Structure 1
Amino acid sequence: MNGGSEEISELIAKFIGAIGSVSTFQRKTDINPVFRPLTPGMFQHSVRMDKDGPLFTPATFSGPRKNASFVIASGICLDFDKGHPTPDDIFAAFPGQLVWLYSTFNHLPESPRYRAVLPLSRAVEAAEHVPLAKVILEVLPAGLTACLDPCCLERGRIHYLPSCPPGSREYALSKIQDGILLDVDSLFLIGRELPPTVEEIKRGTRADSKGTRPGDDFIRRHQIEEVLETLGWKHVRGDYWLRPDCDTDSDHSGKVFQRGVYVYSSSAPVPIGYHDGFSLFTHSRFNGDFAAAARYLAAEGYGENSFVQIAATESEILTEPDCPGEAKPGWPVLSSAALPGILGEFVEVACRNSEADPAAVAATFLVRFGIEAGASSFVAVGETRHYARLSAVIVGESSKARKGTSAGPIKTVFSGLPNGCATSPGPLSSGEGIIYAVRDEERTWVIDRKSGFGQYQVSDPGIEDKRLFILDEEFANALNATRREGNTLSGIIRGLYDDGSAAPLTKHNRTKTTGAHVGIVSHVTVAELKAKLAETEQLNGFGNRFLWVCARRQRLVPFPEPIPDQERRMICTLIQERLEHAFRGGEYQLSPEARELWAAEYPKLSMAHKGLAGCMVNRGEAQVMRLALIYALLSLHIKIERDDIEAALAFWSYCEDSALHLFGGELGDIRKRKILTALNAQPRMTRNEIREQVFQKHLSAEGLTTVLEEMEEESLVETLVEKTDGAPRQIVMLKESARKAR
């Protein structure tokens, strides 16, 4: 590879982290993939007589490799096998994007053959792969499109890793262009073959739009080129434009497609991605405030004035440009099978005139009902008892995701119930605070001074009803708390989930709890969560005790309406009936049909997953069994039926997809990049030096061991034991293959 060794090593590490694990094959005839990350050695050309050898594809399959078993892809490969494309031509087609370009086996200077591999901003599913390929073909300059082998875009296609025949090494090329990941959703907005998106329908960006709002009218009146010129953009050549205040004439910042412009430059006054004329105008002049831009345009005579007025009736829903309406591709989708009976009825009523996400409402309801139901009912799996005890973290897409609105309806219906559980608003700053809220009776040995005899006396009666529901709005604070030395929150959350028992084990605090029934619902935004991932190792320890639930604002409701009294009273009555059923208690066994389904699903649920995402979902069998118990109680069943298992699996599927969406590859890749960067600067480091200097002791010894073991498996580092006068030292170094690839 060309370039400085340190720069190359960092780019390789960045690319490996961006593309994630890939499906690999030893020969072209192999059909069973081995799922693993790329290694630095794979970026170098191997010399062999025959073309056949190791292959890969940035995709996963549900079985043997074929189009029908394709699941998702994290990247896309483009083969340029015709004409005479140059590396500069190919890189220029993807300005500002992360691209790995390498020559293939039959490459010669007079007959160039190149493969470009581009990591995607998110994984694409089977139904999205062909539309995405079509858009990429449309985006490519005509000269490059003619050089492209269209077969490389097939879902089941596999690609040889870099190789060349003897004597051709001098012609081989393997080079990485630094940049951002290819923005899938922005590309989809360009595709002519795709149906109009929700955003396009709302903003009227399609040619046949008949909208009468100021933004619609603005788009109809002005061509995108006119808007670009007015905003100070400079025309370079063809469809390419240069951002304002940029003096160079050799580069470009955006390219016009149809009625909009795709902005590549992070220095431009608008976000990277696809923009129609109204979006470009809004980001440039109003800092992304679409409502303000619409009001300004209305005052200038665009559209109809009714658009900028408040909705005529309180129940009317506004359709501002930032109102999602439908789930974006890649966002988890909640199956209706997860909302049977009273749960589905409640979610429908709660979300009818609200911005709340149904999945967030359902999660909050399930946790709260399970805690209200108490620990009288249980399911025995071997020696382990599972109670109706859950916790959840609701992760909002943004600060406007209205993740907290999911709690309002639950408070409304549960607060009026007799014999309700204790509630707390948090915060989750210390485990001791939780223990104290459900503490055991405490006795102290007291000696009578006159008689000299002693006896135990109750010094603290403790809490008799140990049901506690915690609704904490700031999960980020809990993550911060786990970083503090001596903080016990992580261990206490684990203990409370597992068997309801916990003790801080501190010298001066003997308060403990046994048999507690505690459930937690906490909230955090995607941005807050990811900002903490690089520094927060403790999440590994207790993250899988939570259900992870992605939440997004469904629509804009300026005047949300409360649940009507009649429906609220009916729901309260139904909930109370089910709680009385739960209070009777006892062991819940699985019906024969439920046992059959459980046996079929158990291998998948108990499968061990790697990485941070795996840490979050590695307790699937316990979570599903507890969910099934709650669904059975909600259905007034006396045993767990097949439909209870089905509902639990459906909701768990949403939680699992949420966790994979949120955590897939994030933390492990960040840590590996940090270690690689440190070893580039200091070739030999002890484990303690890495932990102290690279992670400032925010990574535990166990966490460091996990990361280093993965890096050794990927041939990135090696660990040597060095003898000393005292205990031997473990020295971590870059492996020779990684050093050569830098």
Structure 2
Amino acid sequence: MHADALLRWSEEGLSQKQRPAPIPDPACLYGLVGEVAMEGSDGAETNPIAIAGNFIAYLSCAIGRTPYLAVGNTSHHPRLFFLHVGRSGRGRKGDAVSLITRIDEAVRAQEDGFAPQIHRGGLSSREGLAALIHDGYQIGQSEVPAVDDKRLWVVESEFANVLQQSRRGGNTLSAALRDCWDGVDLKPATKTNRVHASAPHVCLSGAISPVELLTLVQRRDLLNGFVNRFLIIWGERTRIEAFPRRAPQARVDALAAEVINVLRFANQRTIDGRDAILMTLDDGACKRYAQLYEAELNQDFGNVLVDSLLERRAPMLLRLAMIFALTDRRWKIDERHVEAAMAWIRYAADSVGFVFAGNAGAPSRPQVVWAAGRISEFLAARGSASRRDLVVDCFGRHQPASVVDAAIAHLIDEAPDRFCVEVRPRLRGGPGRPATIYRLVKSCSG
């Protein structure tokens, strides 16, 4: 499958002609994230989903470690790695970060202390990463003071560099980034290295072409949990604009002010002076997350590579939901935030399937499995539906008919005892083909 996918992407333009790219659910563009995405894409070539993903990574970094969510004995902070995949010259990867850079500059001008440290590429080792947020060290008789602010947003416009470094024998950069995603202290890799960093809050925005990703990603990198810590999103230009619109500075300043309000809320101290605040899910969010966790979030896609890349869907959903709740200035996550986060998880699954699928003529398995789940939920709520109802009402015409048909076939194969197909004659014996109706039942006849 990996070799087939590489061959497909190596043939310029073939994938787009034979197979449509995934389409994100509008629910991805929730609240402030949507405002930034639409402002950056208005009158420009940049895909709003790419802008939104990079903004989420920036905002998750700026928020820091004050909010956390307890899942068992693990504490999750709103910390995300984002990987934007698109073909060279069409992904508009640099443009997807440019508005966020302007917003960051405006944040610094208004309230400098709220902006995180930014490192623009060039990561090569664990030691180099730790040196950016170190706890202090000694050189001879001189003491190098510690970096107190551990927030670091890394922008890797050439993410292939990170993957190249991870392939070098003895290189520990990928292990260090795994520790950063987990929030684990960066300890020296050798006894002679005295540079370390405690409580890191590192977030990363990367960009790569599908050919580079398929060429450089090794099975070891997939299975050791490095690449699957990234929210992998497909995004290419949405139009051709010779003179793309520039967002007015007044609008950039207004968005920066909104960001500051979110950061001021997220970094308030508790009554007892502690700098850590526990976030929780309300009853509706708990129920919805449990439903998703028991089904869609833990579904296998039948392929080791794809399953490995999507292994961390559940914690990613929770971290995204935390960010959406904080943009609403709420410590309690509600169902809206879970649904918006799940829209991102579904689009990430579609993107991974699209990039890594070897068969260019058929929908990806992640697309089919997700669509089948969506149809099941729709039929459970509605009772029955025709194919047109599924295309129009269930998916809002955002999914091609090939995906809908493949999902129906998947349901028939996987759950024949629950998925029923009925053929009903036209009312009053009218002309035309009989109507085909789909419904979920324990048994059916007719």
What is the TM-score of this pair, normalised by structure 2? 0.71
Map of 2:378 onto structure 1: none
SS in 2 for 1:549: strand
Alpha-carbon separation, structure 1, partners of 2:15 and 2:28: 29
User: Secondary structure of 2:332's match?
Assistant: coil
* Correspondences of 1:263-282 after superposition (within 5 Å): none
Deviation at 1:503, TM superposition (A): 2.3
2:27 aligned partner: 337
Which digits, 9 at most, give the CA deviation of each residue in 1:296-324, with x for residues without a partner?
A: xxxxxxxxxxxxxxxxxxxxxxxxxxxxx
Aligned match of 2:250: 566
Partner of 1:606: 298
Provide the residue aligned with 2:335 in structure 1.
Answer: 642
Whether 1:431 and 2:126 are equivalent positions in the alignment is: yes
**3-state SS of 2:83 partner:** strand
Where structure 2 has 5 or more consecutive residues not aligned to the other structure, the ranges are: 269-275, 360-446
Aligned counterpart in structure 2 of residue 544 of structure 1, from 221, 224, 228? 228
Change (3 A) 1:460 1:352: same
Question: What code does the residue aligned with 2:135 have?
Answer: D
Cα distance in structure 2, aligned partners of 1:184 and 1:407: 26
CA distance in 2 between partners of 1:186 and 1:565 (Å): 39
- Structure 1: how far apart are the matches of 2:135 and 2:356? 37
Distance in structure 2 (CA, Å) of the matches to 1:185 and 1:357: 16
Question: In structure 2, what is the Cα distance between the partners aligned to 1:185 and 1:561?
Answer: 26
2:74 counterpart of 1:394:
no
Is 1:384–2:45 an aligned residue pair? no
TM-score (norm 1): 0.43
More helix by share: 2
The residue type equivalent to 1:440 in the other structure is D
| SS in structure 1 at match of 2:106 | coil
Moved more, 486-495 or 502-511: 502-511
Give the conservation status (yes or no) of the 8 Å contact 1:612–1:664: no
Determine the structure 1 residue equivalent to 2:185: 501
Secondary structure of the structure 2 residue equivalent to 1:656:
helix
CA contact (8 A) 2:106 2:253 kept: no
- Contact kept, 8 Å, 2:29 with 2:49, in 1: the verdict is no
AA matched with 1:386: H
Which residue number corresponds to residue 615 of structure 1?
A: 308
Give aligned pairs, total.
340
Where does residue 736 of structure 1 map in the other structure? none
Check the 8 A contact 2:83/2:231 in 1, yes or no.
Answer: yes
**Residue 184 (structure 1) shift:** 8.0
Q: In the TM superposition, what is the alpha-carbon distance from 1:648 to its structure 2 partner?
A: 0.5
C-alpha displacement of 1:343? 1.5
> 2:282 matched to which residue of 1?
591
Point out which structure has higher relative CO (alpha carbons under 8 A, 6+ apart).
2
* 1:424-444 deviation per Cα after TM superposition (whole angstroms, max 9, x unaligned): 111232222111101123479
> What corresponds to 1:476 in structure 2?
160
Does the 8 Å CA contact 2:188/2:194 hold for their aligned counterparts? yes
Q: Which amino acid aligns with 2:290?
A: A
Pick one of 255, 266, 269 that aligns with 1:582: 266
CA shift, 1:665, in A, is 6.2
Residue identity opposite 1:631 in structure 2: F
Contact kept? 1:337, 1:650, Cα under 8 Å: yes
Consecutive unaligned residues of structure 1, counting only runs of 5 or more, are 1-13, 20-119, 123-179, 188-328, 447-456, 667-742
Superimposed CA distance per residue, residues 522-542 of structure 1 (whole angstroms, 9 cap, x where no aligned partner): 111112222324x57434430
Listed one character per residue, the Cα deviations across residues 98-154 of structure 1 (whole Å, up to 9, x for unaligned) are xxxxxxxxxxxxxxxxxxxxxx979xxxxxxxxxxxxxxxxxxxxxxxxxxxxxxxx
* 1:629 Cα offset (Å): 0.4
Identify if the C-alpha distance between structure 1 residues 441 and 186 changes in structure 2 by more than 3 Å, giving closer, same or farther. Answer: closer
Q: Secondary structure at the match of 1:547?
A: strand
Aligned pair partner of 2:318 in 622, 625, 648: 625
Q: If each structure's strand is expressed as a fraction of its own residues, which one has the higher value?
A: 1
Q: Distance in 2 between matches of 1:459 and 1:439?
A: 12
Question: 3-state DSSP class of the match of 1:403?
Answer: coil
Report how far residue 397 of structure 1 moved.
2.7
Tell me, in whole angstroms, the C-alpha distance in 2 between the residues paired with 1:424 and 1:605. 33
Q: Measured at CA, do residues 17 and 458 of structure 1 come closer, stay the same or move farther in structure 2, by a change above 3 Å?
A: closer
Structure 1 equivalent of residue 53 of structure 2: 363
Q: Which amino acid aligns with 1:478?
A: V
What is the aligned partner in structure 2 of residue 406 from structure 1?
96
Q: 1:515 aligns with which of 199, 204, 209?
A: 199
Residues 184 and 467 from structure 1, CA distance in 2 versus in 1: closer, same or farther, beyond 3 angstroms? closer
Distance in 1, Cα, partners of 2:91 & 2:181: 28
Output the CA distance in 1 between the equivalents of 2:323 and 2:338.
10
The match for 2:344 is: 651
In 2: Cα distance, 1:616 partner to 1:502 partner: 24
User: Which residue identity lines up with residue 493 of structure 1 in the other structure?
Assistant: L
CA 1:644–1:485: 2 relative to 1, 3 Å = same
AA aligned opposite 1:521: S
Q: CA deviation at 1:459?
A: 3.1
Displacement of 1:376 in angstroms is 0.3
* CA–CA separation in structure 1 for the residues paired with 2:23 and 2:131: 38
Task: Find the counterpart in structure 2 of residue 153 from structure 1.
Answer: none
% identical equivalent positions = 29
8 Å CA contact 1:403–1:553 kept in 2: the answer is no
Q: Does 1:440 align with 2:135?
A: yes
CA shift at 1:479, angstroms?
1.2
How far is the alpha carbon of 1:17 from its aligned partner?
7.5
* Aligned-pair CA distance for 1:337: 0.8
Aligned ranges 1:342-357 → 2 under 5 Å:
342-357=32-47
Task: For 2:142 and 2:343, locate their aligned partners in 1 and report how far apart those are by CA, in whole Å.
Answer: 48
CA distance 1:644–1:415, shift in 2 (3 Å): same
Q: 1:506 to 1:401 in 2, by over 3 A?
A: same
